[in-house]
Amino acid sequence: MGKEILKTSDVMKKRIVEYLEKGKRFDGRKPEEFRDLTIEFDVSKKAEGSARVKLGNTEVIAGVKMAVGTPYDDSPNKGNFMVTTELLPMASPRFEAGPPKIGAIELGRVIDRGLRESDFIDWEKLCIKEGEKVWTVFVDIYVLNADGNLFDAAGLAAIAALKSAKMPKYDEENEKVLYGEWTDNPVPLTEKMPIAVTGYKIGDHIVMDPTLEEEDVSSTRVTVGSSHGVISSMQKGEEGVLSAEDMKKILEMVEKNWEILKVKLEEALKKKKD
């Protein structure tokens, strides 16, 4: 997901580990603490729903678009779903223009799995005519600034965009989506809000929401999608090893931060409505 010459220096990596040995991080946070989070809605006038998430200096935009298509053979009465991600070159000198690289593909798949497997979207309510026509939900994610922990920032942006999305009008007689015209109906969602929280291992330590420099030092990570204590997805990245004790720490931190992030997202949604 980047060129080696652009990675954090060995001196900085050593200092990060030394600080963690003392229970410290360069920005003063505790190992389990997230950076400041801000959520802004309706950043796109063309999308059915959109949101910008800033997590420290990491910044991500997500937009929701709807289209009508045919259902999959194994789910004739359920809507379709697709997540795409783009790592814009302006977000980091590590990103290059062109076809999606492995980093963008992995990011999209992790977010897709977290949303899909949780049943956050009420798939059956997206059915127009069983076996023939259903709504397809597209979530497009764009990274504007990459300073670590894209998985959690992108996951929050996707959820926020879906929570704010409205169904477009559909002309059944002419079988045409009236883009630019919306109903008062939100995209059908459930109470299962699968906020992604990722634990990173640096040396013998587990940290949450790393900066880019901390992320470069990490040997492995696990992204957990969960809602109200129920895990719906889990994805390990990189080659490092996690012990049973590591996983216990990660799950404890995930549970704690899920509650914190949920409250912040709900506060942002309430502010939007007011």
Query: How many angstroms separate the CA atoms of 229 and 111, rounded?
Result: 18
Helix (H), strand (E), coil (C) string for the chain: CCCHHHCCCHHHHHHHHHHHHCCCCCCCCCCCCCCCEEEEECCCCCCCEEEEEEECCEEEEEEEEEEEECCCCCCCCCCEEEEEEEECHHHCCCCCCCCCCHHHHHHHHHHHHHHHHHCCECHHHHEEECCCEEEEEEEEEEEEECCCCHHHHHHHHHHHHHHHCEEEEEECCCCEEEEEEEEEEECCECCCCCEEEEEEEECCEEEECCCHHHHHHCCEEEEEEEECCEEEEEEEECCCCCCHHHHHHHHHHHHHHHHHHHHHHHHHHHHHHC
- Tell me what pLDDT residue 5 has: 43
**Stretches in the chain below the pLDDT threshold 70:** 1-6
Q: Which of 149, 205, 222, 114 is nearest to 1 (CA)?
A: 149
Q: Pull the structure tokens for residue 89.
A: 């070159």
Q: pLDDT tens across 44-99, in order? A: 999 999 999 999 999 999 999 999 999 999 999 999 999 999 999 999 999 999 99
Q: pLDDT tens across 247-268, in order? A: 999 999 999 999 999 999 999 9
Yes or no: say if 25 and 31 are a contact pair by the CB < 8 Å rule: yes
Q: In sequence order, what are the beta bridge partners of 133?
A: 129
Yes or no: say if 80 and 70 are a contact pair by the CB < 8 Å rule: no
Query: How many angstroms separate the CA atoms of 123 and 106, rounded?
Result: 24
- Tell me what pLDDT residue 83 has: 98
Residue the block writes with tokens 């013998």: 204
Query: How many angstroms separate the CA atoms of 232 and 127, rounded?
Result: 23
- Tell me what pLDDT residue 1 has: 39
- Tell me what pLDDT residue 3 has: 41
Q: Which domains can be identified in the chain, with CATH numbers?
A: 25-273 (3.30.230.70)
Buried b (16+ CB within 10 A) or exposed e, 24-42: ebeeebebbbbbebebebe
Q: Is the pTM of this model over 0.85?
A: yes
Q: ∠259-265-267 over CA atoms, to 5°?
A: 100
Yes or no: say if 90 and 144 are a contact pair by the CB < 8 Å rule: yes
Q: Pull the structure tokens for residue 32.
A: 């389990």
- Tell me what pLDDT residue 234 has: 97
